Amino acid sequence: MPQIIFLPHPELCPDGAVLEAEEGATVLDVALQNGIGIEHACEKSCACTTCHVVIKEGFDSLDESDELEDDMLDKAWGLEPESRLGCQAIVKDENLVVEIPKYTVNQVSEGH
């Protein structure tokens, strides 16, 4: 069973975490099921950027992002080449190392 290694995040996961992940699960679902409260304002429908994560290792094992996800990611804070939306990044058979960005853009709560 693959693992997702979440790097430390000062608020959501201060000590980091190593989590077992079922193939076919999303990075966001694995985080939420294990008490890592990554924001997901659009309820996992690929309509915002609040679940933006950076895949530090294992990026190439993920399916390519589609046009909708790419359009959303263009609006994310701290975008990197290995950025994905946690609700769209589906775990395959490789371990992943994931960084949760320090900031997120929540257009609903920020009134944009």
What helix, strand, coil percent values describe the chain, rounded to 5?
15, 20, 60
Model pTM score = 0.92
Ranges assigned E (strand) in the chain? 3-6, 17-20, 52-57, 83-85, 96-99
Give pLDDT tens digits along the chain (112 positions): 999 999 999 999 999 999 999 999 999 999 999 999 999 999 999 999 999 999 999 999 999 999 999 999 999 989 999 999 999 999 999 999 999 998 887 644 444 4
Task: List domains and CATH numbers for the chain.
Answer: 3-99 (3.10.20.30)
With beta carbons less than 8 A apart as the criterion, state whether 73 and 52 touch. yes
